[in-house]
Structure formats: structure tokens, C-alpha cells
Structure 1
Amino acid sequence: MAQPQASLPAVDFGSAEGHDNKNFWALALGSVGVVFGDIGTSPLYAFKEAITAASHHGTVAEATLGVLSLIFWSMTLVVTIKYVLLLLHADNKGEGGMFALMALGQTVARRSAPLLGALGIAGASFFYGDAVITPAISVLSAVEGLRLIAPQLEVAIIPAALVVLTGLFWMQSHGTARVARFFGPVMALWFAVLALGGLMHIADNLSVLLALNPLYGIEFVYSNGVLGLTVMGLVFLACTGAEALYADLGHFGRRPITVSWLYFVMPALILNYFGQGALVMNDANAIENPFYRLYPQYALVPMLILSTFATVIACQAVITGAFSLTRQAIQLGLIPRFEIRHTSESVAGQIYIPRVNWILFIFVVMVIFAFRTSSNLAAAYGVSVTAAMVIDTLMAFFVIWKCWRWPLWRVALVVIPLLMIEQAFFSANLLKLFEGGWVPLVIAAMLAIIMFSWVKGTRLLAKLTKRNEADLDWLVRKLEAKPPHRVPGTAVFLTGDPYAAPTSMMHNLKHNRVMHERNILLSIRTVETPRVARHERITIERVSDHFIRIVARYGFMETPSVPKILEHARRKDCNIDIGATSFFLSRRSLRKTPKSELPRWQERLFIVLAASAEDATTYFQIPTDRVVEVGTQVAI
């Protein structure tokens, strides 16, 4: 068989390809509202923080050209080349994101699967750190415009930010379907206003266009030592949110995202940054808040309102991303089950996870009170973003090499320069470690410990459980040789291994000495693809006249539902009346043991996590009046 050519994979453009122009532009507008919210609000604080630090040495003009050059080329190399032109091609059946990239890499690089799994956990952990800081810095930077309207309003900045964020997190339980339709038009207006603000001031000092030369940025970093690295870390704030281009690939498709970025979003951002630069070169006092000073005094209140709306939309995208990532982590077995509520009957991706929502809210409030200003938060922001981007690049290496079949030298030619750039930004952000950079690192470390402990604990629990389970084929032969008393109806036993007799079945047989006329072993498995086609959802195997084995497959972006599985089974001539069916579940009570394979602290953590997991009846949507729980004790 001929080897595939070393080129970009032949993948489709996602949702937009093959549709009419009207649908394409609707998707493009939707991507502007959702995908670019985070990176689109960076002009509120990115240039201000970078130029404030850079202007401590040398002239403002030199500092401005250096900062703008770094911003322009960072966006070009990291956002445009890496994410738009490279990673948007690395789709996992049309889906993108951290776990989609991890799963894709694991399917083609089996030997490196554990490493990719560890990278996926680390990347997801850093994303949650980003999800805590993004709402805080975005909303704070927007409402800080109050002090320009009236200096005495400065005391209202934190209360105003808390009111906005409280309303945002409160509305999550009601779903965002109704307001989401306004995200695209609002953000389109936002980017148009960004471009207009920049255009109004670039003519103030046309020498600002010299910053398009990368040598200004390189010379600034080289000649300023530690200060140059510090400014690099702050410059990277202009690229925060770039991961969303890849994460939202499945929602909008590659072409709408690419066109929106190249022809609308990026030009608007560049114009705004260069407008701020020209303003500062013309008036050094504008460094205090160059973004709001782009606009005339009479426009400050409307800009404050529009900025607040834009930052709320950016925060909404991050929160929704946290919900989506959490569901994927649950499906992949990285964290315990959490309650997942669907807030839309028509859109499968509209979900709400109460526990994640309120934990995020508590952390965001704590961060606001701890740092109090967007300038203080800027130091903490870049660490989590750059770390996640480095991890993306490392996982992309395996996909490009093994999936796209590029020669190793060619992969290195593309990946190593990107990795060096991102590692330089990550190192630059680490200089702010003791000024707030430790916050996302602590959050990421906590979550990584939880995920690794859960994975290790569930594997140990599965091994211990398997010791007490009998082979199903052996049990069927024994029951045929010596039939037990049979009662009418159907019993469904949920099990992780459909080839072993589950603990709940063995206990029912041992203590009640009866079996149902029809017994179904139902196993729900998560596969390494985002979604599973309906015709591939379930497989049914008749083990004997009284036993049926059903294996249901779900993608890591889907939520399992037992009633829907039984409906699929009915279409395959396995008629199951859910109202006349008993569902047997094993409820394990974990207890400590001196001989545990886990360290004592990890053993205790796993027991706490297992106790906090969502009840299987609720998670799998099983009718509560049809469930029989069989309790067992397991010493881990």
C-alpha cells in the first residue's frame, strides 16, 4: 500500500464547507462573537501593561516601536501561522481543542499515548487557570474606564466588576441560547470600533508603522535584558484567547474562522494597537489608559458600556469552554462524574455544570479581591496561556509526524521554531512568578494532582473489582446446568466490562437466589473521537437465551443517556420496555487499607473524590423508580 504524501491532510472545512454563502457568513459572524471574544478584548490592557513596563528605560518612542513590533509578530507567528494555518487542519473528525488533539495523537502514536495523556491533563489544568483569570482581568479592565469619566468613581470599580460577574455566573443556569444570537453583532461592532479608534490616531505619528519591521522588537528585547523579557511576557497578553480558534473548530468550521481572522479581526486589532502606539508617541501622558484615550470625551460612556458587553461575551466563551472541557474530562475518565444540565433542546453543546460554575465564580471573586486591578492581574495571566500553548505545540508534533506522515526533519522545521518562540514567552512570564504568576501555576497543579489521582485510583479500583467478578460465559454455562428460579421481566446491569459478571449480578444471585428471564449487561464506553455516528452507537450480542450483551459507544464530547441507548436497541430488534425493567447498579463504599498501592494522601484524596461523584442514576438519566442499588465495600 502506498504511503500518503507528506502534506496537509485532506480534511473538510467543517460546518461551512459545501453550504451557501448565506450560511457561511452566518457562521463567520457567529465565530466573531464566540471565538474571538478573549483575544478581541486584549487591547483593553495588553498595550497599556507592556508600554508601562517598557517606558521605564529609554524614550517612549523607542519603547512603543519595540512593543508594537513584538505584538504584531507575536500575533502573526503564534495566532496566524500556528493556529490558523496549521492547527486548524489538525481536526479530530471536525472537532478541535486540547482533548481532541490529545485523542488524535493517541490514535496514531500508541507508544506515546501515556505522554500525550499527561500533556492533555497538564494542558487542561492550565486552561482552568486561564478560566479563572480571564473573567477577572477582562471585566476589571473594562470598568476601570470609570476613573476617566470621573476620578471619584474609582472606588466603584471593584463593586461594579463584582456586580457584572455575579450576573454573568448567575445567568449560566438559564442557558445562553437567547442572548448568544446577539454575540456576533455586538462583537462585530466592537471590532469595527477598535479599528475606527486606531485609524483616528495612526495619522498622529505615522512613524509608528516602522514597527512592522521585526528588527525593532528583536533589538528592544536584546538591548534591555531582563526588562526586555518582562515586556515580552506582557506583550503576549495580546495573544490570549488564541486557543479558542482551535477549540471552537467544530462549532463554526475552519473556513469561517480563517476568513474572520485574516480579513476582519486581526486587521481591527492591529489598527487599534498601532493607534494606541501613535497616541502614546504623540502624548506620553496617554500611557495611563491609552485604549480609552483613543476616543473623544463624549464617547467614553458608550465605550465603557460596549467594553463591558464585549468582556462579558469574552468571559461567557471561557465559561462555556470550561463546561465543555469538564464534560470531555468526565467522559475520558479524568475526573469524577459531575451533574450536567442541558439548557437547550436544540443545541447539544449548550450545557451547564453547577459545580464548575460556582467554583469558578468563587475563585474569580478571590482573585479580584487579591489583585484589585487589571495591571496586577496581568502578571498572573500570561503564565497559564503560554504554558497551554507550549503543550498544544508538543502534542501537535505527534499529530503532524504520525498522522500527516511528514518526514521528521520537516516536522522539526515547523514545530521547533514555534516551540522556541512560545518557550521564550513562557520564560518571560515566569519572571513575574512572585508578582502573581504563581496563581495559575497553583491552580493548574491542584487540578493536575486531582486528575492524576483519579486516573490512578480508578485503574486500581477496576483491578480490585475484576478479582471479584466471574467470567460471564462461565457463569452462563453454570446457570444453564443448574438453572436458578427465574422471575418475569428484564434486568439491566451496568458494568465496565461486558465480558465479566458484574458485582451487582453476583450479589443478586447470591443473596436473592433468583434471576430475571432476560438479563442485559450494558457497558458504556468512551472512544477516542469527539462524536459517534448513530449507526455505530451500540452493538448487541446474544450470549444465550437469557443473557444479552450491549456495548454503547460515546465520543468524549457527548453525554451518555441510558433511555436513548435502549431506544437505539429497540430499533435493532431488542425491545426493552423501560417501565418494566429493573436497573441494577453497584454502589461501592471505599475504605482505606494499610496495604494500598496508592500513597496515603492519594488514597484519601481518591476516596473523597469518589464520594463527591454524581450519582450514576442521575448522570445516566435512569428512571429513579426502576433502580436497585447493590452496595459493596472495597478496600483500596
Structure 2
Amino acid sequence: MAALSLGALGVVYGDIGTSPLYAFQTAFSPDHGVPYSADNILGVLSLIFWALTLIVLVKYVLLVLRADNDGEGGILALMALVMRRYAKGTRGRTVAITLGLIGASMFYGDSVITPAISVLSAIEGLGVATPVFNDWIVPITAGILVGLFVVQKHGTAVVGRFFGPVMLLWFTAIGVLGLAQIVHNPTVLLAINPYYGAELFVREPTVALILLGAVFLVLTGGEALYADMGHFGRKPIQIAWIGLVMPGLVLNYFGQGALVLAHPEATKNPFFYLAPQWALWPLLALATAATIIASQAVISGAYSITTQAIKLGYLPRMRVLFTNESNQGQIYVPFINWLLMIFVLLLVLSFKTAENLAAAYGIAVNITMIVTTAFCWMIAQHRWGWSAARANAVFGLFMLIDLAFLSSNALKVDHGGWFPLLFGAVVYTLLATWKRGRTLLRRQLEEHALNLQDFVSSLSTYPPTRVEGTAIYLTPSATTVPHALLHNLKHNKVLHERVIFLSAQTMDVPHVSPDVGLKLTPMEEGIYLLHVELGFQDEPDIQRLLKECERLYGLEFQLMETSFFLARQTIIPSKLPGMALWREVLFSWMSRNAQEASDYFRIPPNRVVELGTQVEI
């Protein structure tokens, strides 16, 4: 438990743990127009304390972590959990899918902004240490970020061993720095009283509403608690938060408040001004390491959510590399890696300061949090056995808080908040277009397909020439004849002596045991139907599945005598009913650039036969 809790420190809390670098400073930026008075400082600290308590501690740590999908977390895992309530084609299922895709799209926006603002805010500490580096902050930040994305292909196993200890040192250090200032000015502890936060809203309602956008920055890593639950489990994440993370964060925020009360000029960069002169350079190095870890957490999260989206049918197949043989959760997706790097660098070069980036930060993860609240409200009633009144009261309160933060973050759209919204809209369009396009494609293929049972029965009446060996045909449907087989019969006029129709289906659970998910149905004329059910975190390794089939059913496979027949569809956009023409063109482009099915299913290239067909949608 101690080892898991230490690991959770490094992976789960990197994002939220680096918020003190910029959150309190942003609250008192000139854009918010908050005067440096004791009441205002106490009001901001009170809002920060209760935001951490209500949203992170109560909502996420105590409640949302209970909504696991067989131990796994994340917005798509949560969506899959909610979808179990609804039959296919129902309005409730459509709403759940739409909300889940919105949340996932916004997560990608967060994955772009987090590395940019985290590393930039740490390197800005150089300006506090010495003005010599003022003109080099952006180039140094860009260099560190490029290095971070370049090393991703080597995996996080080696570096990950240091994540936990580094973050343990980080939370201890920021807590001690904050405590030292609180000792000099203990009046800031009055901010624990929610009166000061409420009084700020009564006295300056407009300013307080604007301030909520800055206060929300202390929560931006909250979704990681749930998204990374599958790596560590609920208990270690809870222990790490209650035992170290929240105390360290609260002490540091209150210490920054105490410092600003005594020295208003420290608002320029209160985090680094907490440190005595001798500790500034070590703190700068530690902050840089912590922000790299925070960036690594969201980058890895983007890889994970991409693979889940692929397996659930919302993204085309992409090349996924496994960087650790003993841990299938450690993956690397090259396309996503380089795409994130390009956008992160563009953000750094465009916004130039962490304060400017703070205006763009928050709204994306805020929307994801709203989706999480809505999903948990459904789950509380149908899985936890809560009454409607209890669920409405608890999650209604959280929804009101989330919407209050959203109303404040919406004020920042003109100042950079448009970026994550635009980025999320593009991602949502890609996810929805791919899912809709695959549905239309499947419908078109099924309309012109032969019934599998009728085809098998016809073989005894009109037997084709049979040749030695085994042919495995991958098919999306277990009831129709694959187009690849029809093309093979049409052009080669032969059928192998043993034919396997292999259909794979991704379920809405993380993992499915082969003993449960592998079903072999013998048919006539040496034909078998092999249906495979996979979890959305299981790897579709055909050779492994065939070995499991041999173990369970005694059906032996000699790989050098087995041919895999795949159908390659060329999508022809048309004016047929279905999607707008521009979306059909987009779907066709995505289909052309999808990873080869043989690579995705790990089929030996020298055993693959591809047969193409053109399909209008």
C-alpha cells in the first residue's frame, strides 16, 4: 500500500500538485482587478480551501472513485459504465455517448495546455533568481518540452521510478515553505472559515465571479484522480491525497497568502518568493522536475484515452507501441505524441507567459468535470442504490459549483479560452464522424452481404474446389459472409479445407477473460465461427487468441499453413443519405490513414492476403 501510494504521488498528482506555481498568482493579476487588501486575500484563500475540500476531497476522492468500471477509471470508462443502462438505439444511450465524447474531447484540450503552462511557470522562476534569463524563458521552455516528447518512445518505466520520490519531496518542500510564512502571519488561517469566501461574493460579486476562474486552476488535475485509478486502485490514491497532497497544497497556498499580506510586491511571483535566497535554485530545479512529471501524466493519459477510443470504435486504428513487457498500461502512440508536441509548442510561442496561458486553461477540464458529475448522478441511483432525492441533493450541489466555475471560465474565452474549445470541437468531430461513418459502412456492407448459414448450407449443393490449409477471415459480423471470402471464391474459385470466420467485439468493460470471451461454433463443411469478446483495455493479438482457442477447444493451428484474409474497403463519398458530404470526405481520409489491420491485430505480414472493395456511403 505504501509503494502504491508513493506511485500515485508521481502519476496521479503531478498536475494538481504544480498548480501553486501559477494559481494564486493568477488570482491577483491585473486582469482580475482585485485590490491587495487583507479581506480579499482571505476571501481568495477561503475559496481555494473549500474548492479543494468540496470538489477534490468530497466529490472525487470520496465519491467519484467509487464509480469504477471493474477497477478502471477515466471519462470513456465511465461512459461505458453508464451505457450499460441503455439498449442500443435508445435516446439515453445517445445522450451518454454524446456527453462521453465531449468529455474525452476536452481531455485532449487539457493534455495540450497542461505541459505548456506547467513547464513555462516553472522556468519563469529563473526571472526571480536572476534577470539574465528573462529573454530566454520561452526558448528554454520549448527546449525542455521538445526533449520531453522525444523521450516518450523509450517509455516511462525508467523515469517513472523517480516520479514518486520526486513528488514526495515536492509536496514536502512546498508545504514547509508555506508553513514558514504562516508562522510569521497566522491570521491567514482564518480563511478556513467559509465566511470570508461568501463575504467576498456579497461585497464584490462581479470580481468574485471573475476570480472563480483563477480559483478553478487549483482543481485542474482533479480528473487525473479518476482517470489513473486503474493503475493504483482507489485506496492508495485516497491515502496519498489525505496524508500528504492536500496538506502540502493548503499550506503552500496559505503561505503565499501570508507572504502577499506582508509584502504586496510579491504578487509578481509569490510561489518562488516563498523561498529564501539560498533555496531558490534548488526549488527551481525541483519545480522543473515536478512540471515535467505533471506533463508526463497528461501525455500518458492522452495515450490511454486514445487506445480506449480506438477499441470502442471512436477512432481509426493507430500504431500503438508497448514500452514495458510486464505492464500493458505503459504505451506510446507516435501520432498522438507528435501532434501534442506541435500544439504545445505553438501555445508556448503564442502565449509566452504562464499568466496569459492561465486564461486558456481551465475551461476544458471544467467541461469534463461537468460530464463526470452528470454520469455519477446516474450511477449513484442505479448502481449505488441512492434515492433520487439523495442523488439530486449531493450531485446537484456539485453541478451548481461546476456551473459556477464554468460561468467564470466562459468569461476567459476571448482571452485564450477559445483554444481548448476549438481543439475539443475538432476532436469531437473526428470521434463522432468515425463512429457514424463506421455505422454507415457496416450498414452498406450488410445490405449486400449473404447470410452465413445459407452460404454454408449451399456448399454441399455446389461444392467449390477445396485446397489444403486453414483460411481465417476477419469479419465485423458473425451472421454474414465476409466480402473477402466472396472475392476469393469469385477470382480464385477455391476454398480452404478449414475456414474460420473470426469476429471480434469490444465490450464496455476493461478486460474479458478468454475463458468467457472466446466462443468457437463448429458449422458444416469444415467451417467454424470464432467469436471473440475483448475488453476496451485488452490487446487484440490474433496469435495469442488462436493459442487460447487451441487450449480451450483443441483446435490446432499451424501458422505456416494458415492464411489470413482481410477486406480493405475504399470509401467513396456520395450524396446518399447518412452524413454531410464534408464528413464523408473526412471519414474517407481517416479510413485511408488508419493503421493496417494486420499490424493492429499482430498478424504476421507474410501470412496476410488483402482483397479490396469500393463502398459508397
Q: What amino acid sits opposite 2:497 in the alignment?
A: E
Which secondary structure state, in structure 1, belongs to the residue aligned with residue 184 of structure 2?
coil
* Residues 54 and 67, structure 1, Cα contact 8 Å, conserved in 2: no
Which secondary structure state, in structure 2, belongs to the residue aligned with residue 497 of structure 1?
coil
The match for 2:27 is 50
The match for 2:151 is 171
Q: What amino acid sits opposite 1:96 in the alignment?
A: G
The match for 1:30 is 7
Which of 566, 580, 583 is residue 602 of structure 1 equivalent to?
A: 583
The match for 1:9 is none
Which secondary structure state, in structure 2, belongs to the residue aligned with residue 86 of structure 1?
helix
Q: Does 484-493 or 538-547 show the bigger shift? A: 538-547
Which of 267, 271, 277 is residue 257 of structure 2 equivalent to?
A: 277
Alignment of 1:430-441 (within 5 A): 430-441=410-421
The match for 1:581 is 562
The match for 1:590 is 571
Alignment of 1:552-631 (within 5 A): 552-572=532-552, 573-631=554-612
Instruction: Identify if the C-alpha distance between structure 1 residues 237 and 550 changes in structure 2 by more than 3 Å, giving closer, same or farther.
Output: same
What is the CA distance between 1:57 and its match in structure 2? Answer: 4.1
Instruction: Identify if the C-alpha distance between structure 1 residues 370 and 38 changes in structure 2 by more than 3 Å, giving closer, same or farther.
Output: same
* Residues 520 and 528, structure 2, Cα contact 8 Å, conserved in 1: yes
Per-residue CA deviations over 1:427-470 (Å, capped at 9, x if unaligned) read 10010110001000000000111111111111000000111211
Per-residue CA deviations over 1:270-327 (Å, capped at 9, x if unaligned) read 0000000000001101101100011111111111110000000010010000000000
The match for 2:180 is 200
The match for 1:361 is 341
* Residues 181 and 258, structure 2, Cα contact 8 Å, conserved in 1: yes
Q: Please, what is the CA RMSD of the aligned residues?
A: 1.1
Per-residue CA deviations over 1:94-153 (Å, capped at 9, x if unaligned) read 111111111111113445221111111000000000000000000000000011111121
Q: Distance in 1 between matches of 2:114 and 2:536?
A: 25
What is the CA distance between 1:498 and its match in structure 2? Answer: 1.6
What is the CA distance between 1:58 and its match in structure 2? Answer: 4.0
Q: Distance in 2 between matches of 1:458 and 1:485?
A: 34
Q: What amino acid sits opposite 1:27 in the alignment?
A: L
| Number of corresponding residues | 613
Q: Distance in 2 between matches of 1:60 and 1:330?
A: 52
The match for 1:16 is none
Question: After TM superposition, which residue ranges in structure 1, 4 or more long, deviate above 4 angstroms?
Answer: none
* Residues 332 and 526, structure 1, Cα contact 8 Å, conserved in 2: yes
The match for 1:327 is 307
* Residues 232 and 428, structure 1, Cα contact 8 Å, conserved in 2: yes
Alignment of 1:494-509 (within 5 A): 494-509=474-489
Do residues 76 (structure 1) and 76 (structure 2) align? no
Q: Does 253-262 or 531-540 show the bigger shift? A: 531-540
Instruction: Identify if the C-alpha distance between structure 1 residues 343 and 59 changes in structure 2 by more than 3 Å, giving closer, same or farther.
Output: closer
* Residues 32 and 211, structure 2, Cα contact 8 Å, conserved in 1: no
Which secondary structure state, in structure 1, belongs to the residue aligned with residue 270 of structure 2?
coil
Q: What amino acid sits opposite 2:565 in the alignment?
A: F
What is the CA distance between 1:53 and its match in structure 2? Answer: 4.9
Q: Distance in 1 between matches of 2:130 and 2:480?
A: 71
Q: Distance in 2 between matches of 1:635 and 1:534?
A: 36
Per-residue CA deviations over 1:519-542 (Å, capped at 9, x if unaligned) read 000111100101112322311111
Q: Distance in 1 between matches of 2:193 and 2:32?
A: 20
Q: Does 219-228 or 254-263 show the bigger shift? A: 219-228
Instruction: Identify if the C-alpha distance between structure 1 residues 53 and 83 changes in structure 2 by more than 3 Å, giving closer, same or farther.
Output: farther
Instruction: Identify if the C-alpha distance between structure 1 residues 54 and 374 changes in structure 2 by more than 3 Å, giving closer, same or farther.
Output: closer
The match for 2:66 is 89
Q: Distance in 1 between matches of 2:16 and 2:540?
A: 33
Which of 42, 45, 62 is residue 65 of structure 1 equivalent to?
A: 42
Q: Distance in 2 between matches of 1:422 and 1:627?
A: 51
Q: Distance in 1 between matches of 2:359 and 2:608?
A: 51
The match for 1:372 is 352
Q: Distance in 2 between matches of 1:41 and 1:588?
A: 47
TM-score, normalisation: structure 1: 0.95
Q: Does 591-600 or 73-82 show the bigger shift? A: 591-600
What is the CA distance between 1:567 and its match in structure 2? Answer: 1.1
Which secondary structure state, in structure 2, belongs to the residue aligned with residue 182 of structure 1?
helix
The match for 1:551 is 531
Which of 281, 292, 301 is residue 301 of structure 1 equivalent to?
A: 281
Q: What amino acid sits opposite 1:630 in the alignment?
A: L
Per-residue CA deviations over 1:78-101 (Å, capped at 9, x if unaligned) read 001110110111111111111111
* Residues 471 and 563, structure 2, Cα contact 8 Å, conserved in 1: yes
Which secondary structure state, in structure 1, belongs to the residue aligned with residue 296 of structure 2?
helix
Q: Distance in 2 between matches of 1:605 and 1:193?
A: 50
The match for 1:222 is 202
Q: Does 43-52 or 436-445 show the bigger shift? A: 43-52
Q: Distance in 1 between matches of 2:189 and 2:144?
A: 37
Q: What amino acid sits opposite 2:58 in the alignment?
A: I
Q: What amino acid sits opposite 1:44 in the alignment?
A: L
The match for 1:189 is 169
Do residues 482 (structure 1) and 462 (structure 2) align? yes
Do residues 310 (structure 1) and 287 (structure 2) align? no
* Residues 504 and 630, structure 1, Cα contact 8 Å, conserved in 2: yes
Q: Distance in 1 between matches of 2:555 and 2:54?
A: 55
What is the CA distance between 1:171 and its match in structure 2? Answer: 0.5
Alignment gaps of 5+ in structure 2: none
* Residues 8 and 232, structure 2, Cα contact 8 Å, conserved in 1: yes
Which secondary structure state, in structure 1, belongs to the residue aligned with residue 28 of structure 2?
helix
Which secondary structure state, in structure 1, belongs to the residue aligned with residue 57 of structure 2?
helix
